[in-house]
Amino acid sequence: MHFLGKISLMKNSDRSSALYFRDFRLFWFGQVISLSGTWMQSVAQGWLIYSLTKSPLYLGIVATASTLPILLFTLIGGVLADRFRKRNLLILTQALSIVPALMLGMLTDLNIITVYQVILLAAFLGTVNAFDIPARQSFLIEMVDKGHLLNAIALNSAAFNGARLIGPVIAGLAISYIGLPACFYLNAVSFVAVIIALSMIKARGEISVSSKGFFSDFSEGFDFIKAQREIFYIIILISTFSLFGIPFTSFMPVFAEEIFNKGAKGLGLLISATGLGAFSAALIIAIKGDIENKLRYMSVAGLCFSLSLFAVALSKTFWLSLILLVFTGWGIVSFLATANSFIQLSTSDNLRGRIMGLYSLVFLGFTPIGNLLIGLLSDSIGTTNAIAASSIICLAGAIMFSVRYLKDNK
């Protein structure tokens, strides 16, 4: 703990950082380790599926199996996050997440793994995540005060996007030198770091003692959002981005191979450029500590994401596309991190789990639908035209959001 304490106390200005809080510091470092393991498993699982089937179709099926449970169950997860201690729920979900990692490792090690087993295990992990995500998102404010929430969200996003840069590199080395099962075993071990960190954190926060049933609890959350005009418009724009914007990463292989003729190395650079933009956005917000006018910042970020994505769809130059993707990554993470903070700070403690459940639904649960919509559109008019059309829809939504902001601030 002496080392961790030094990190957040090196300067007086560090007191503006969420890392100044012991509980968040423990959680954040555990997250960095666990998320690196998660990205390792993601890369290894994709390699495993393609090795077994040589079929892009099965890659899509496994991705859907991983994300569809979020669409189906995350609202229930939000209700449970309000009914039970979030820390205890997270310890349970982290423990359950070890199961598919170990199973994948052992089945692959024994050379008896099948594609259907991978699909089932992916669905199991997706179901666990549906309950984990609302609890995780609404747990941040219990570790820091409200003035540090945006910084905590930004640091959490930095951990995620930093792990996205580190995890795949480790996975590639592990697959090459110690074998594919090692990635799954290492991911299983990585969850222990978060479990240990959570066990050292004091359980806090308000929980709902009374309940009229799941449907009434859902209804209460929806009624709150409808009554809060700014939150309602934010949720609508997140839904738009999730359906027509965020899925663009799934179609980067087409750009790498068919547009730029750069192959797998080009694909890696395209995805890394997006990750670099996302990571820089999280760091910028973390350094700022807080953003006074969040609605204006969201307006700028939403417009940047939409315009950059539209330019990517039209670009025929590889290096220009890399630069544009940095802005695309910056825009979407800047918007989502600030939106997350704005929604949580506007929500009462007894509703936060349900509201973050709905946030997770529209942010993550809508993405597989968006992949399907853009995929169908790509078959009809081509991938670049489909991404261009989708980005125009995102741009229209961002413009309407910005106009609404300007109207409300006259």
Does 212 score more than 80 pLDDT? no
Report the helix count and the strand count for the chain, using DSSP H and E: 16, 0
pLDDT for the residue numbered 56? 60
pLDDT, tens only, 381-399: 888 898 999 999 999 999 9
Task: Name the residue with higher pLDDT: 177 or 91.
Answer: 91
24, 157, 180, 256 from 36: Cα distances, Å? 18, 13, 16, 25
- CATH no. for 15-200: 1.20.1250.20
State the DSSP code for 203: P
Does 7 score more than 50 pLDDT? no
85, 113, 153 from 343: Cα distances, Å? 20, 43, 12
Average the pLDDT over 326-338 and give the result: 93
Print burial letters for 188-199: b (CB count within 10 Å at least 16), e (below 16).
Answer: bebbbbbbebbe
pLDDT, tens only, 46-102: 778 878 887 666 766 777 788 889 888 888 888 888 888 889 999 999 999 999 999
**Whole-angstrom distance, CA of residue 112 vs CA of residue 65:** 21
Structure tokens given for 334: 């800047």
Does 27 score more than 60 pLDDT? yes
pLDDT for the residue numbered 389? 94
Q: Percent of the chain, pLDDT > 70? A: 89
Q: How confident is the model at residue 42 (pLDDT cuts 50, 70, 90)?
A: confident
Residue whose token pair is 């307006």: 299
**Which segments of the chain belong to CATH 1.20.1250.20?**
15-200, 214-410
Structure tokens given for 402: 């910005």
**Residue 204 DSSP SS3:** coil
pLDDT, tens only, 129-176: 999 988 988 888 888 877 788 888 888 888 887 887 777 778 778 888
Task: Write down the mean pLDDT value for the chain.
Answer: 84
Task: Name the residue with higher pLDDT: 13 or 35.
Answer: 35
Task: Name the residue with higher pLDDT: 65 or 326.
Answer: 326
pLDDT for the residue numbered 92? 96
Q: How confident is the model at residue 409 (pLDDT cuts 50, 70, 90)?
A: low
pLDDT for the residue numbered 97? 96
53 in Cβ contact with 228 (< 8 Å): no
pLDDT for the residue numbered 110? 94
Q: How confident is the model at residue 11 (pLDDT cuts 50, 70, 90)?
A: very low
State the DSSP code for 178: T
**Residue 21 DSSP SS3:** coil
pLDDT, tens only, 215-272: 676 677 778 888 888 888 999 999 999 999 988 887 777 787 788 887 766 776 787 7
Fold of 214-410: Growth Hormone; Chain: A; (1.20.1250)
pLDDT for the residue numbered 57? 66
